[in-house]
Amino acid sequence: MIPPTSERFEISLNTSAGCITTAVDVPTGFVPVTAIVPLMRRLGEEAQALEVTRSAEEGSLPSCRKGCAACCRMLVPLSAPEAFAVRDWVRSRPAEQQARIIARFADTKVRLLSHGIWQGLSELSETSDYSDEDALEGMNHRYYGLRLACPFLEEEVCTIYDERPAACRELLVTSPADRCEDLIANPVDVIPTPLRISTVLGLLWQDLTRTSTGLIALPLALEWAESHLRASEQVWKGTQLFDQALDKVWRFLSQSFSGDRGASRD
pLDDT digits (tens, 9 = 90+) for 25-35: 999 999 999 99
The dihedral region occupied by 205, where left means phi > 0, alpha psi between -120 and 50, and beta the remainder, is alpha
pLDDT single digits (tens) 109-118: 999 999 999 9
**What value does the mean pLDDT take over residues 149-153?**
95
CA distance 80 to 127: 12
Quote the pLDDT of residue 133. 60
CA distance 132 to 135: 6
Quote the pLDDT of residue 3. 47
CA distance 139 to 215: 13
Q: What pLDDT band is residue 266 in, cutting at 50, 70 and 90? A: very low
Q: Strands 263-265 and 18-27, how do they pair? A: unpaired
Query: Would you call 54 exposed, middle or buried from its count of C-beta atoms within 10 A (0-12, 13-18, 19+)?
Result: middle
Q: What pLDDT band is residue 259 in, cutting at 50, 70 and 90? A: very low
Question: Does residue 170 register a pLDDT over 70?
Answer: yes
CA distance 229 to 12: 34
With a pLDDT cut of 90, the percent of the chain lying above it is: 67
Helix, strand, coil percent content, the chain, rounded in steps of 5: 50, 15, 35
Q: Are 54 and 17 in contact (CB under 8 A)?
A: yes
